[in-house]
Amino acid sequence: MKDIELKTLSAGFRDPEVIHSLTRKINKLATELNDSIQVMEVCGGHTHTIMKYGLNQQMPDNIEFIHGPGCPVCIMPKERINHAVELAEQPNVILVTLGDMIRVPGSKGSLAECRARGGDVRSVYDPMDALTIAKENPEKTVIYFAIGFETTTPMTAVLVELAETQGIENLLFHVNHVLVPPAVDAILSDDDCRVNALIGPSHVSVIAGAEIYQPLVDEYNVPVVVSGFEPVDVLETMLNIVEQKLEEQKSGEKPKLQLQYSRAVVPGGNTAAQKKVDDCFEPREHFRFRGLGDIPGSALKLRDKYAHRDAELIYSDKLSTEELDDHKVCLCPSILRGQAKPYECRAFGKACTPSRPMGSCMVSSEGACNAYFRYSDLTDSE
């Protein structure tokens, strides 16, 4: 078999000629549109692609990107970040979490600041490292602060399963896994929402399948295209959306669910992973999304049979319960609904920066304000 090199996985998807040809086609077709398109890229990964590669600059005036809530770090409300800090401050506890999570400030500072004060906070890339840390520190309680949408949930489920089968008693979980469809539903159901097309998060769909978005297509009459993350993927997706809009305009054809990222996603998703998730977790009645508020059924919690591993129950007397909102000047709720752009916020780039974020969208590199701050849309902000 010919060796696959990493660059072959992305090189063709960043080919300037293909990109030029797609943008030409989109721009040509878009002149035929009667109504403008406000497309929400739900996933922070897509926001990152659009801003980093300047794809928004390649779009005609009647196509606008609206940056959605699909960044697991950004949507974490402050009270739950406080939980992480409160847990890390417990004696004999090692708090383990993923990447960006450690620099997000709650009202008690960030996990990085907690670590500087002496808290044992470990940032890992592979959740399985939490198991190793638990084995190496049998006298300590290791708490895995689990975050992420459907994409990362199976890894946490496997971690729970391994801790059970290997009898690793000192590994606990604080579960913050959230779900894409209820969050998008909450945005689209708002009367003031301007979104009329969706770019579907696709790594979520690798696990959960593309079909999870069909109810959104049916309910809100919007095209949803499940897209890959390279520039050519996103542009091809945009072309699909424009074509769907034109078909609807010309022949009244209903919007549909399309799968652009077919090299990784199948309609039904990864059923083995889904089974593991289902065994381990059940939906919460509601979960507060930072910037969006309470959304019913939008997150998961450990099933009762794993209550002995649920740090939220075990440390319930140590964890604060007060709900904490962002500063009232913060425009994140409007930005997430497509009613405002990051640079329209009075705090953007001044009181609110990636080093000292005030609102959810500035928090992680995949948040809309953060992406605008780092890459700035030269055409919009100048």
CB 246 within 8 A of CB 26: no
CB 247 to another protein: min, Å:
27
CB 231 within 8 A of CB 198: no
CB 109 to another protein: min, Å:
14
Does position 152 interact with another protein (CB under 8 A)? The reply is yes
Binding span for another protein by CB under 8 A among 29-37, 142-150, 169-177, 313-321: 142-150
CB 250 to another protein: min, Å:
30
Residue located via tokens 């605008």: 372
Q: How many residues bind another protein (CB under 8 A)?
A: 49
Does position 12 interact with another protein (CB under 8 A)? The reply is no
Site for another protein in 167-226 (CB under 8 A): 203
Instruction: Classify residue 356 by its DSSP letter.
Output: B
Site for another protein in 87-106 (CB under 8 A): 98-103
**Residue among 133 and 335 whose Cβ is closer to another protein:** 133
Instruction: Classify residue 58 by its DSSP letter.
Output: G
| Nearest Cα residue to 379 out of 67, 60, 66, 15 | 60
**Residue among 27 and 334 whose Cβ is closer to another protein:** 27
Binding mask 56-75 vs another protein (x if CB under 8 A, - otherwise)? -xx-------------xx--
Does position 375 interact with another protein (CB under 8 A)? The reply is yes
Does position 13 interact with another protein (CB under 8 A)? The reply is no
**Residue among 1 and 6 whose Cβ is closer to another protein:** 6
| Nearest Cα residue to 75 out of 38, 42, 52, 111 | 42
Site for another protein in 108-137 (CB under 8 A): 112, 123-126, 129
| 171-209 b/e (C-beta count within 10 Å ≥ 16 → b) | bbbbbbbbbbbbbbbbbbeeeebebbbbbbbbbbbbbbb
What is the identity of the amino acid at 70?
A: G
Site for another protein in 272-311 (CB under 8 A): none
Task: Output the CA–CA distances (angstroms, integers) from residue 161 to 21, 22, 101, 131, 336, in the order listed.
Answer: 48, 45, 24, 11, 35
76, 299, 366, 367: which one binds another protein (CB under 8 A): 366
d(CA 43, CA 201) in angstroms, rounded, equals 5
Torsion angle defined by CA atoms of residues 288, 289, 293 and 298, in that order, rounded to the nearest 10 degrees: -70
Q: How many helices (H) and strands (E) does the chain have?
A: 16, 13
User: Which 3 state secondary structure label does DSSP give 179?
Assistant: coil
Characterize the bridge pairing of strands 293-296 and 257-259.
Answer: unpaired
Does position 374 interact with another protein (CB under 8 A)? The reply is yes
Binding span for another protein by CB under 8 A among 77-85, 256-264, 329-337, 365-373: 365-373
**Residue among 27 and 339 whose Cβ is closer to another protein:** 27
Residues that bind another protein (CB under 8 A): 5-7, 9-10, 14, 16, 19-20, 23, 45, 51-55, 57-58, 72-73, 98-103, 112, 123-126, 129, 147-149, 151-152, 203, 231, 354-355, 365-366, 373-376, 378, 382
